[in-house]
């Protein structure tokens, strides 16, 4: 690798300043050849022009400095040194161009092809998807060189999109041999010795309620009415039991299974496939609360008042025997009709379900009183056939059974957080902070611009957001307003610093209910057990405490925002322990984002492939976002989102109104904002870039007229005047040049443009001079 020397900077008069400060960050490439450095210190990203990107790769950690401000006002940087290059492989298609083997990266953010020497292609054939290991990094005047390390197969093979995603995002998908050997040695069922020192709940009719396609069952529930107090002062309430699979009984701290689980941090869910956090023997066997078998569990045993308040709770290890496996659809049907066929088949459990419904309604009332945010959003589910092709995309419907289980899990999670906080034991909280000052200001301006007679205070409470949502429900632009309310909030993270959960309006909240698929939940179980035993839980040596933790925290802090409410200065003795918990929280938060990104990438790939079959077709849709470069539209029937570029909105200049989050035409005043209904045509699908482009269809415009217009002929068959075509092109070019994010011209368009330009120059030269 050839690096620039310090002297190289002084040669440029624009940067001859010895006081220019260097900073570290992570390179984020862009498919158009340029990139950015995402700074570790949280300052604004620094732009890297294409010539700077030639010697670096996407995800490289670099030391850089700002050398100038470009014409758009962005700070422009220069790479001084490459601090670290991740060992992550590059995935792409093997091509042979003129006898030269190369791999075109599937992730276009890498910006350049990888050369493959003869003999380094292995068994791969032209066009196949391969994994490349770099042998020579890129340089200022040379492409990166690599060798084929793995052949994934043909691009159209079933499940190829998942194989690409797990490698593209570095998702661990192969368990270590030590992990599998340890899992194999575990017993097949609960043994008598395993039941020692546990509460026996096998006679309690705990049951599981999950989706139809669920394979592992984390949680079981049971509820019965009870009286609190005696005599006339006695109050009615419920005893609610939430039993969670006791993964910590089998996965010991620092064991091979634990090492792999920590590395994954979460299960990753794709259409038709799950990459589990734990080996299948645990996730679908020993730790899954399957019906009619004994299972070890951790129980949160709660007393809940008629008003939905948690009066008391206790935790204890237990052994249980699931008495039924319900689905959400089945439970909703029974609650809707206790005399129906579903209820008849489960008559011995109907009263238990009615008790659960009663406590759910009380908890829901308390949620409303607490002022928690409760917006209804539409989630979708991709239904694929056996070959992996999308058959349809349908909305996930949330019924009363979903909400019932959700409230029970929330109650158990709150008790877990309170138990850890009251015990003053370090652990991981699930923290969700309120809006940042910048987002608060944007939201206030938006509400003012939209004529909403309500706003938020400087220190807003979740109830303020809920009140605005309730007050605007009847408005035609309610969807737009609710979307903006949601977007103003921050992402939740795992951290030992408890700053509360803004959205749920809890002073303390954590994750206790899914240890099969989330590592933070497993840590919470271990902490609770340690507190019950009067001990102190020590984190596993993953990674080694000390400098490794500090390095990991620094690296991940650039990807995950830490809580703004920092605690008081900790004693020196606790610093290393706290640092270890912070690193664990950042690691789990970052891997949660990684899993989400990989899942979204696969869904986007499937949707693009699906929409290729609908090129040229027209659909109705609704605007889901407005930006400086166009509008994003989600189709009604398919729940697929695509971009209508600003140049496709019409022959006039459109200005982006940040306060209203809308695009407005200067000449016609037409507006495109969130919630605006439009009709679009599928015009382009970029499978590699995971992008779908739409073009706007206006009322009364048929396909024939549009095609004639594109060829320069009016709907009446009269050629369009050259001046009109020129004006239209100028307007489009004006829009394109004024806004970022415009789509690149196709190769054919670029060729036509170059030919016309050259012809114009020749014609100009031949023209006789004016007298």
CB-CB contact of 616 with 727 (8 Å): no
d(CA 369, CA 305): 14
Which class for 396: exposed (0-12), middle (13-18), buried (19 or more C-beta within 10 A)?
exposed
For residue 175, is pLDDT > 70?
Answer: yes
CB-facing half-sphere around the CA of 38: CA atoms within 13 A: 17
Burial of residue 474, with CB atoms counted within 10 A of its CB: 0-12 exposed, 13-18 middle, 19 or more buried: exposed
pLDDT of residue 476: 76
Q: pLDDT band at residue 763, thresholds of 50, 70 and 90?
A: very low
pLDDT at 700: 58
Confidence of residue 225 (pLDDT cuts 50, 70, 90): very high
pLDDT at 640: 93
Give pLDDT, residue 553.
Answer: 52
User: What percent of the residues of the chain are helix, what percent strand, and what percent coil, each to the nearest 5?
Assistant: 35, 25, 40
CB 51 within 8 A of CB 78: no
SS3 752: helix
What integer is the mean pLDDT of 207-233?
89
Per residue in 455-513, pLDDT (tens digit) is: 899 889 988 988 898 888 888 778 778 888 888 888 899 999 999 999 999 999 999 99
Q: Which of 662, 643, 648 is nearest to 697 (CA)?
A: 648
The region of weakest confidence among 169-183, 216-230, 382-396, 721-735 is: 721-735
Query: Of the candidates 506, 525, 273, which has an alpha carbon nearest to the alpha carbon of residue 416?
Result: 525
pLDDT of residue 71: 82
The secondary structure of 282-338 as a DSSP string is IIIIITS--BTSEEEEEEEEEEEETTS-EEEEEEEEEEEEB-EEEEHHHHHHHHH-T
**Rounded to the nearest 10 degrees, how much is the dihedral formed by the CA atoms of 317, 321, 325, 328?**
-30
Spell 720-731 as b/e; 16+ CB within 10 A means b: eeeeeeeeeeeb
Band (757; pLDDT cuts 50, 70, 90): low
Question: What backbone torsions phi and psi does residue 671 show, to the nearest 5 degrees?
Answer: -120, 145
Handedness of CA 169, 173, 174, 176 (dihedral sign): positive
Q: Report the chain's C-alpha Rg in angstroms.
A: 30
Is the pLDDT at 308 greater than 80? The verdict is yes
3-state secondary structure of 204: coil
228 pLDDT tier (thresholds 50, 70, 90):
confident
Which pLDDT belongs to residue 413?
Answer: 97
- pLDDT, residue 554, reads 55
Bigger pLDDT: 389 vs 18: 389
Q: How confident is the model at residue 393 (pLDDT cuts 50, 70, 90)?
A: confident
User: Please, which pLDDT band fits residue 652 given cuts at 50, 70 and 90?
Assistant: confident
| Alpha carbon distance 634, 431 (integer Å) | 31
E-assigned strand segments in 512-635: 618-627, 630-635
Task: Report the Cα–Cα distance between both ends of the chain, in Å, rounded.
Answer: 61
* 85, pLDDT greater than 50: yes
Higher pLDDT, residue 435 or 515:
515
Backbone φ and ψ for 179, nearest 5 degrees, come out as: -65, -45
User: Which pLDDT tens digit goes with each residue over 712-739?
Assistant: 444 444 454 444 444 444 444 433 333 3
3-state secondary structure 419-476: HHHHHCCCCCEEEECCCCHHHHHHHHHHHHHCCCCCCCCCCCCHHHHHHHHHHCCCCC
Instruction: Read off the tokens for 73.
Output: 């006002």
| Cis geometry, peptide bond prior to residue 439 (ω within 30 degrees of 0) | no
Q: What percent of the chain has pLDDT over 70?
A: 83
Alpha helices, DSSP H only, in 71-211?
A: 160-168, 177-185
User: pTM score, two decimals?
Assistant: 0.82
Tell me which of 421 and 674 has the higher pLDDT: 421
Q: Can you give the pLDDT at residue 271?
A: 87
Select, from the ranges 16-30, 457-471, 556-570, the one with the highest average predicted confidence (pLDDT).
457-471
Nearest Cα to Cα of residue 240 among 367, 410, 120, 398: 410
Q: What is the pLDDT of residue 446?
A: 87
3-state secondary structure of 201: coil
DSSP 372-399: -------EEEEEE-TTS-EEEEEEEPP-
Of 765 and 362, more confident: 362
Q: Of 478, 432, 529, whose CA–CA distance to 198 is shortest?
A: 529
Residue among 222, 64, 213, 89 at smallest CA distance from 147: 89
CA separation for the pair 152, 293 (Å, rounded)? 40
Least confident of 144-153, 542-551, 590-599, 648-657: 542-551
- What SS3 state is found at 252? coil
Mean pLDDT of all residues in the chain?
84
Angle made by CA atoms 680, 686, 688, in degrees to the nearest 5: 155
Main-chain dihedrals φ then ψ at residue 125, nearest 5 degrees: -115, 160
The phi, psi pair for 757, rounded to 5°, reads: -65, -45
The answer to whether residues 169 and 594 touch, using CB atoms and an 8 Å cutoff, is yes
pLDDT exceeds 70 at position 708: no
Residue 142 DSSP class: B
Q: Residue 740: pLDDT above 70?
A: no
Q: 328-356 pLDDT, tens per residue?
A: 999 999 999 999 999 999 999 999 999 99
């Amino acid at each position: 690798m050839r690096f620039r020397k310090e002297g190289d900077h002084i040669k440029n008069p624009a940067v001859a300043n010895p006081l220019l400060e260097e900073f570290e960050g992570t390179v984020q490439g862009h498919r158009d050849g340029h990139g950015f450095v995402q700074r570790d210190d949280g300052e604004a990203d620094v732009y890297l022009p294409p010539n700077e990107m030639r010697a670096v790769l996407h995800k490289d950690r670099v030391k850089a400095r700002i050398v100038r401000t470009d014409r758009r006002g962005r700070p422009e940087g220069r790479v001084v040194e490459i601090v670290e290059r991740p060992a992550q492989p590059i995935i792409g298609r093997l091509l042979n161009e003129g006898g030269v083997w190369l791999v075109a990266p599937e992730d276009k953010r890498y910006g350049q092809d990888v050369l493959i020497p003869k003999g380094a292609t292995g068994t791969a054939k032209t066009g196949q998807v391969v994994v490349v290991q770099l042998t020579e990094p890129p340089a200022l005047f040379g492409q990166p060189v690599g060798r084929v390390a793995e052949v994934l197969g043909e691009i159209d093979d079933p499940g190829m999109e998942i194989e690409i995603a797990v490698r593209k995002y570095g998702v661990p998908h192969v368990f270590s041999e030590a992990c599998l050997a340890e899992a194999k040695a575990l017993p097949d069922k609960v043994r008598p010795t395993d039941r020692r020192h546990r509460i026996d709940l096998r006679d309690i009719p705990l049951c599981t309620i999950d989706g139809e396609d669920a394979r592992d069952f984390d949680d079981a529930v049971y509820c019965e009415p009870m009286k609190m107090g005696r005599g006339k002062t006695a109050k009615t309430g419920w005893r609610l039991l939430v039993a969670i699979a006791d993964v910590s009984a089998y996965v010991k701290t620092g064991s091979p299974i634990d090492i792999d689980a920590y590395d994954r941090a979460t299960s990753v869910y794709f259409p038709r496939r799950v990459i589990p956090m734990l080996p299948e023997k645990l996730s679908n066997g020993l730790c899954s609360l399957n019906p009619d078998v004994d299972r070890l569990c951790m129980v949160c045993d709660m007393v809940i008042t008629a008003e939905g308040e948690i009066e008391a709770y206790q935790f204890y290890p237990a052994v249980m025997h699931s008495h039924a496996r319900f689905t959400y659809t089945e439970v909703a049907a029974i609650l809707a009709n206790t005399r129906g066929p579903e209820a008849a088949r489960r008559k011995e459990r109907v009263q238990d379900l009615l008790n659960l419904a009663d406590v759910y309604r009380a908890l829901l009332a308390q949620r409303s009183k607490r002022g928690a945010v409760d917006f209804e959003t539409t989630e979708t589910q991709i239904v694929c056939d056996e070959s992996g092709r999308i058959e349809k995309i349908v909305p996930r419907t949330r019924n009363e059974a979903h909400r019932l289980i959700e409230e029970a899990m929330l109650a158990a999670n709150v008790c877990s957080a309170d138990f850890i906080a009251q015990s003053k034991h370090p652990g991981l909280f699930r923290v969700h902070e309120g809006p940042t000052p910048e987002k608060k200001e944007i939201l206030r301006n938006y509400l003012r611009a939209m004529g909403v007679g309500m706003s938020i205070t400087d220190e807003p409470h979740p109830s303020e957001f809920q009140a605005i949502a309730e007050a605007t429900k009847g408005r035609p632009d309610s969807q737009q307003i609710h979307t903006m309310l949601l977007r103003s909030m921050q992402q939740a993270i795992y951290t030992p610093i408890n700053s509360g959960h803004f959205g749920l309006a809890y002073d303390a909240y954590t994750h206790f209910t899914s240890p099969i698929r989330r590592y933070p939940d497993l840590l919470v179980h271990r902490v609770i057990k340690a507190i019950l035993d009067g001990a102190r839980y020590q984190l596993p040596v993953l990674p080694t405490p000390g400098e490794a933790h500090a390095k990991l925290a620094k690296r991940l802090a650039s990807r995950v925002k830490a809580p703004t409410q920092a605690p008081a200065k900790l004693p020196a003795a606790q610093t290393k322990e706290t640092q270890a918990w912070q690193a664990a929280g950042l690691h789990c938060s970052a891997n949660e984002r990684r899993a989400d990104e990989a899942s979204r990438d696969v869904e986007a790939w499937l949707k693009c492939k699906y929409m290729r079959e609908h090129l040229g077709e027209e659909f109705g849709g609704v605007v889901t976002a407005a930006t400086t470069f166009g509008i994003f539209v989600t189709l009604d029937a398919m729940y697929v989102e695509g971009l209508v570029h600003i140049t496709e909105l019409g022959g006039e200049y459109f200005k982006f109104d940040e306060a209203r989050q809308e695009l407005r035409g200067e000449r016609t005043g037409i507006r495109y904002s969130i919630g605006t209904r439009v009709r679009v045509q599928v015009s382009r699908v970029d499978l590699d870039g995971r992008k779908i482009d739409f073009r706007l269809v206006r009322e009364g415009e048929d396909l024939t007229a549009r095609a004639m217009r594109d060829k320069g002929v009016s709907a009446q068959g009269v050629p369009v005047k050259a001046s009109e075509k020129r004006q239209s092109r100028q307007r489009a070019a004006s829009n394109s040049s004024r806004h970022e994010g415009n789509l690149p011209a196709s190769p054919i368009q670029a060729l036509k443009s170059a030919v016309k330009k050259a012809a114009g120059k020749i014609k100009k030269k031949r023209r006789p001079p004016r007298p």
